Amino acid sequence: MTPAIAIRFFINKFVPGAQICRVLARTGTKMKKRITLCATMALAAAFVFGGCGRQKEETPGEATGTEDAGEDEYVYVAQYHPIGGAGEQIGMAIIGNDGDVFYLEYENSQAKLVSMDMDSQETVELLAELGEYQYITSLDSDGEGNLLVSVTGYTDETAAQIKEILIKTLDADGKELASLDVSEAFLQSPGFYIANVLTDGDGNYYVCDGREIFILKPDGSVYSQMSPGEYINCFFRMKDGKIGAAYLDDARGFIVNEVIPGEKELKQINSSISFDYGTYQGGADTDLLYTENGVLLSCNLSDEKPEEILRWTDYDVNSANLTSVVVLPDGRIAALTTDFMSPEGGTELVVLTKKRKSEVPEKIILTYGTYYPSFFAERDITDFNRQSQKYHIMIKEYGDASMDYREKSDLYLKELESGQFPDIIDLSYCPMPLETLISVGAIEDLNPYLEADEIINREDYVESVLEAYEREGKLYAIMPYYGVQALIGKVSEIGDAKTWTVEDVMELMADADSGVELLSGVDKSDILWTMCTMNQELFINEETGTCNFTGEDFKKILTFANGFADKAGDEATLDDLKNGRTLLYNGYVTSVSQYQMYEFMFGGPVNLIGYPTFGKGGLTLFSNGTTAAMSSGSENKEGVWEFIRFNVTKERQENVGAPNGGFPILKSALEKQFEKDMEPEYRKEENGNQTQMPKMTWAGSMGGEEYSVAVYAATQEQVDRVREVIMSAQGTVRMDEEVMHIILEEASGYFSGQKSVEDVASVVQNRVQLYLNETQ
């Protein structure tokens, strides 16, 4: 039997995907950039007279990095060693002091502790002494070559009641050296489990359950307890033996602090270095060895800035999958990864070794330009590189974590002006609208490549998703995976119509009881921004370079937006949604189970209706994967197409996706996913009976209220509704942000009561038309 606590611990470690969703939610409507006349002219000139994406033949080999070594040039070469065999699930794994790998392996629900020699990959099962109904629930190192394991004992085979909690010290052969009973400290907390346990030089034990930290004296009694209040991402020992914790705080961001025995709060680390979300641990010769934004870094806390060691995707490693990294005494770098998005959850050992560049086969380098290397981009690039015999993609990031959006945008613009643009242009995180890239001739039409492809056929893909990146009959990108943004409401409150207008919403609110809120957490400017963006073709004619803001449609939007708060208020609670005090929720749907979660939030059937629009649906598609364009100046366009097609092939579409990773664009893969969504999952009990299992458990908070809901197999009706939503959704055209700046600036006078709707519309018309005349 696999202990539920151990499984829960490793599921909780998958935070990257959740972080990506937060970034999408926070940046979806308010990223603002100013495209000036001189910049646009410079872009056009750059693409007429400049070249970009020159072909380079370098030496990635299996995966490489270069180092300046005089006349002899060396590169890192990566070797990949899967851990565990077919049908075996790896629960947790660590790299020991001597370089051996230790891990828990589950086969037929039975767990065993295994060690693997890093060089030979030979494995040995360690005979850890466990009693009946005892299970290892965490695995760590004591820093002296021994293993620290937490063991939970249950009263019987059902694992329904915890009897004891132990901390054991084992040598490298699995022999027990010490055992400490900590039941008295933790049994009073129902469902308690140990996620990590570390020791210091004084014999104290540091126990982390994922949210709280307990320091135990050598006899097992509690010395002190600390509660950072948020999920603790990493719990580690630094080179001097100090214990550190890295955790996410919604108010203060990502924090790395020190754990001090006897104190009730974590001690703030005194460092000029700014830390961000990543994988942290102590270094062999430095205080910290950590991965941040896909880059492996090393530093002492007294350093002014960290040392950059490598970018993981250069070695075909998805940094979001990292669980452990060490620098070995011989200079090799070893890492453990677990593919949390894969249903199998494969664990792998990666070893980077320096070799002479001349000894490694060469590949053609393709550059992937982005200002934020997302989880999905890392995943798709590393998977492509591993299977390609000809090409190797390397990420080119614009700026770093210390820069804000504006600074990164400026770097991006300068690169575009210089003509040295990457081969592949990331559109999921791009500071420029698609229309700007098209207008300056920066990106290539993919239709000729799609039509000439002998395997990929357009009719096999969801047409509405393909059309999201079409402009005037030309296809500039393909979303392999995607989601739908919608306004979500309870059918009993807002009805079951598929679309609605501004007048419909105003009528709904006019009939609503006093105190009923339409949508929480937004203000007038938020609504105006979204409504203008979704309806921009009504106001801007790009072909003629004219605009129309004096018509009734724009005035209706202004009036509609003015009905919201001046400043965004508190988020609605679940009770507000269920009882009709708040009618709508602005949400994202990337899976059927997420749709089911919304039914729980509202307490009944929901309608995904989208924003009110004029003459079209208000459901919008967004990329939930790697959406990339081909640079028109690339000298390796066939290689770029290989990458784009790689992500939409049948094998990739049907196998790489996971719940909440987005819907696949291939029709057959989408239907296959729907079938899985409706297929019940069962667990066989000891008595032979079967119990239906949840397919997904959603947990979160809303309006300060935490919730958790188990989602079971979907009904045909739920799947049909999600399918209908996908087919009716459409891509959005992003309004020129200089135009939006003008609209928001002038609308503020109306919102404050100083100007009429007609006055605002007239001034916006004149200012926008002048701007369009200057930029034609």
CATH at residue 297: 2.120.10.30
Tell me the three state secondary structure of residue 538. helix
Average pLDDT, the chain: 84
* Domain edge (last residue) among 361, 391, 408: 361
Cα separation, 558 vs 510, whole angstroms: 17
Shared-domain flag, residues 146 and 280: yes
Residue whose C-alpha is closest to residue 83's, from 99, 73, 94: 94
In a domain, 345, yes or no: yes
Cα separation, 547 vs 775, whole angstroms: 13
Q: Which of 20-24, 201-205, 315-319 has the lowest mean pLDDT?
A: 20-24
In a domain, 81, yes or no: yes
In percent, how much of the chain has pLDDT > 70? 87
Phi, psi dihedrals of residue 349, rounded to the nearest 5°:
-100, 130
In a domain, 219, yes or no: yes
Q: How many domains does the chain have?
A: 2
Read off the tokens for 606. Answer: 């929901």
Q: Is the pLDDT of residue 61 over 50?
A: no
Cα separation, 11 vs 2, whole angstroms: 13
- Model confidence over 284-337: pLDDT tens digits? 889 999 998 899 999 998 999 999 999 999 999 999 899 999 999 889 999 999
Interior angle at CA 75, CA 74 and CA 80, nearest 5: 145
Residue that the structure tokens 């014999």 belong to: 203
* Domain edge (last residue) among 339, 361, 383: 361
CB 209 within 8 A of CB 193: yes
In a domain, 413, yes or no: no
The alpha carbons of the chain give a radius of gyration, in whole angstroms, of 28
Q: What is the DSSP letter of 321?
A: G
Measure CA 466 to chain center.
Answer: 23
Which 3-state string (H, E, C) describes 246-286? EEEECCCEEEEEEECCCCCCCEECCCCCCCCCEEEECCCCC
In a domain, 394, yes or no: no
Say which CATH number the domain at 588 has: 3.40.190
Phi, psi dihedrals of residue 749, rounded to the nearest 5°:
-65, -40
CB 453 within 8 A of CB 645: yes
Q: Based on DSSP, count helices (H) and strands (E) in the chain, helices before strands.
A: 22, 44
Cα separation, 95 vs 82, whole angstroms: 14
Higher pLDDT, 734 or 204: 204
Q: How many CB atoms lie within 10 A of CB 109?
A: 9
Beta bridge partners of 79: 351
In a domain, 122, yes or no: yes
In a domain, 547, yes or no: yes
- pLDDT band of 358, cuts 50, 70, 90: confident
Higher pLDDT, 103 or 411: 103
What per-residue confidence (pLDDT) applies to 16?
A: 29
The domain containing residue 336 runs over which residues? 66-361
- Model confidence over 43-60: pLDDT tens digits? 333 333 233 333 444 444
* Domain edge (last residue) among 361, 393, 416: 361
Read off the tokens for 253. Answer: 């961001």
What per-residue confidence (pLDDT) applies to 44?
A: 33
Q: Is the pLDDT of residue 546 over 80?
A: yes
In percent, how much of the chain has pLDDT > 90? 49
Phi, psi dihedrals of residue 293, rounded to the nearest 5°:
55, 40
- pLDDT band of 454, cuts 50, 70, 90: very high
Cα separation, 592 vs 584, whole angstroms: 19
In a domain, 658, yes or no: no
Residue that the structure tokens 């509202």 belong to: 602
Shared-domain flag, residues 347 and 488: no
